[in-house]
Structure 1
Amino acid sequence: MVIKLYTTELSPSVRASIMAFEIFQVPYENIEVNLSDKSMLDPEFLNKNPMRTVPVLEDEDFILHDCHAILMYLADAYGTEDTWYPKDYKARALVNQKLAFINEIIFSGFKKIAYSVVVERRKTLMPQWIETIEEGYSIMEKFLNKTTYIATDDVTIADLSAYSNMSCLIYVIPVDRQKYPKTLKWCHVMEMQPYCKEFNNKSAATFGDLYKLIMSH
């Protein structure tokens, strides 16, 4: 039975999961969840994920939500290269550390901005939101001073998660070339990866266009 993945296009977490499905060559059925009609409040969906979020992975009676949990699962279950989610416990701990940072700073910042602008149609950003994103950029720069990618010298699932969010955030708060040169270079490297070109960049640009449209009217 083909795995089902419940998605919505503009979600960075969804795009990171889809990239992982493609990288690890896992067949799946993409089931789009309509946010506007509150499908996430349906009892059937709440039974799958009481947190009312996407993505949700459904593999027969096995159901998993949370992007990072899905990335870990796919890498462990289907990955053939050790680099994406290393078996070495120290290298894996570094990946887990960066995933925690993404949740706490990068995704948290994006979520607040996206909800306030796209859902609530606010046209001003709270100063602390901007400060949080700038802090995230600064921390990423420090990570990238030590390794080629944000966790190790190889691209990992942490980069998929980080870039899916960063590719949207750069439309809100561009990465300053003078302050964060390594972060900007990393963004360009990720942007050119085949899986990002095919499954991320277009949707990130759609978010950027929507953001600009709302903020200009």
Structure 2
Amino acid sequence: MMALDAMNISVTEVDLDIDKAEHRAAEIAVMNPLQTLPIFKDRELVLCDSHAISTYLASRYCCMDNILPRDPGGRALVDQLMFYNGGVLHPRYCAAAYPILYENCRFVMPQQLCDIESAYMDLESMLCGRTWFGGSWITLADVALTATVSTMNVLVPIDKKRYPRLSTWLFRMSDEMFYVTANKKGLEEFTKRIDCGRVYDQGEFKRCPRSSCTRRSVAGLHLPEGK
């Protein structure tokens, strides 16, 4: 969703209630046997990984070369960072968060705490001499990393003294419009569930479809229709 808003692309969005296992329905399993979200469909193409979805949208529908560099070196750097996000960061987030969300655990286990702190050290090192992970401007790598790091920060707050570059980077990302429109509300809900195990207010769940542009407008930001 942050990638969509960063590129100002509008698609039809459909919400599924994961707490009611709607993502395991038969019609969803046909599109994605792994029964995970998100799922993206463009004509006959179906993609089921947020990194693949984001890079596809950038390559096919976005004219902003900075968000996904066209030169092989710049693209490889973005890919490398997104592989790190999917292969290292996200599994560490899941290992720490899932026992709290689904197994009545009330704290991050010591090993998971250590693993997340180790990831913070990696990220701090990656930002040495850089403003953004991809270089001089925001790329899809920053967007993907923000989704994971912002939730990990709820579980294990980033120590500003130990990780000043990472802390400053996340603060700058939180000021970006796409963060406000696409990440802030969900992050607040995640924080509530981690803190007290509260399931979201069922009255707030509004079944879609809706357009990405409408979602951005509902957030109080009347942005123009994307490509």
TM, length-normalised to structure 2: 0.83
Contact preservation (8 Å) 2:39, 2:49: yes
Deviation, 1:151, is 2.2
Return the match for 1:89 from 57, 72, 75. Answer: 72
Give the unaligned 5+ runs of structure 1.
1-17
**Partner residue in 2 for 1:32:** 15
1:50 to 33, 50, 59: 33
Q: Are 1:180 and 2:180 an aligned pair?
A: no
Report the counterpart of residue 119 of structure 1 in structure 2: 102
Decide whether the 8 Å contact of 1:105 with 1:132 is kept in 2. no
| Identity score, percent | 25
Does the CA contact (< 8 Å) of 1:168 and 1:205 recur in 2? Answer: no
Name structure 2 gaps, 5 residues minimum: 199-227
Aligned to 2:185: 202
Query: How many residues are matched?
Result: 198
Q: Which runs of at least 4 in structure 1 moved beyond 3 Å after TM superposition?
A: none
Give the RMSD, CA atoms, in angstroms: 1.5
Amino acid at match of 2:169: W
CA contact (8 A) 2:7 2:64 kept: no
Q: Contact 2:67–2:138 at 8 Å: present in 1 too?
A: yes
CA distance in 2, matches of 1:165, 1:205: 14
Distance 1:208 1:128, change over 3 A: same
C-alpha contact 1:24 1:75 (8 A) present in aligned 2: yes
- Using the size of structure 1 for normalisation, the TM-score is 0.86
1:37 is displaced (CA, Å) by: 2.1
Higher RCO, Cα 8 Å, sep 6+: 2
Q: What is the distance in 1 between the residues matched to 2:137 and 2:152?
A: 23
